[in-house]
Amino acid sequence: MSLLKRLLRPTPPPPTESSVEIDGQRFPVLLRVSPTTRRLTLRFDAKEDRLVVVRPKGVPAREALTFVAERTDWIRARLAAVPPRVPFADGVPIPLLGVPHIIRHRPEARRGVWIENGEIGVSGLPEHLPRRLADWLKGRARTEITPRAHALAARLGRPDRPVGRISLRDGRTRWGSCTANGDLSFSWRLVLAPEDVLHYVVAHEVAHLVELNHSHRFWKAVRDLAGDTTDAQRWLKEHGTRLHRYG
């Protein structure tokens, strides 16, 4: 999208918050307005444990809440399928590139965060453990993703389409993205997934350096970089939500 089109695109109003009651329990609802959507849509945000409704401009909030209330069966099924939260705490297992590791709090160690014998040691005060471990995982994600993206881009054989800036985020709906100028963005939570899944997502976004679409040529580029990605795509579809439940 050109800069002029972005400037002329109408700015949607800020989202509002509400709630609905289902089976005697209240659930937060985030109401968003989209100037481009033509119908009401509903999804469950597993990261924030809330429902998200996107409504067209001009559709009142009360109509959106009625839309939610009429879909209690879908909401019950979705809630039942959401994996439990897994805190970053002593003794809790978490995956690193898909391999389970046990978190061990070692307050006396003064070593920061480290891996040893299938465990992830974390020193410091207990109240600092979740943030310290999350920061370490983000750093580990960067060391896994950044050189991989540059190596895959080099295999494209297009020096005119280099990798731009690489950033890590904690997006709710996208595992990666690529801009027209070659900037790449990835979810740091990919470092929790099996390595072939992380590799697929990096290859997917790198392929967008030469094909900013999902055409046959794009998928050929993905296969050239990562081989058959059927299993990785299936894993993300079946288990991707679980990655947002850690921490």
Write out pLDDT tens, residues 46-80. Answer: 888 999 999 999 999 999 999 999 999 999 998 89
**pLDDT attached to residue 1:** 47
CA 104 – CA 226 distance, rounded (Å): 35
Structure confidence at residue 185 (pLDDT): 98
Listed in order, the ranges of the chain carrying CATH 3.30.2010.10 are 140-243
- In order of 98, 196, 226, 234, the CA distances from 230 in angstroms are 17, 11, 10, 6
> What is the pTM for the complete model shown?
0.84
Model pLDDT, residue 23: 86
Confidence (pLDDT) at 110:
87
Question: Tell me, what's the pLDDT at 25?
Answer: 86
Phi then psi for residue 41, to 5 deg, are -130, 150
82 closest CA partner among 48, 53, 52: 48
Q: What is the mean pLDDT of each run of 10 residues along the chain (247 residues)?
A: 52 86 90 93 91 94 93 92 95 98 96 96 97 98 98 94 96 92 97 98 98 96 97 97 95
Q: What is the pLDDT of residue 10?
A: 63
Could you tell me the CA-to-CA distances from 217 to 1, 152, 155 in Å, in that order? Answer: 21, 16, 15
CATH of 140-243, picked from 3.10.450.50, 3.40.190.290, 3.30.2010.10, 3.40.50.20, is: 3.30.2010.10
Burial 185-207 (b: 16+ CB within 10 A, else e): bbbbbbbbbbbebbbbbbbbbbb
Tally Cβ neighbours within 10 Å of residue 85: 11
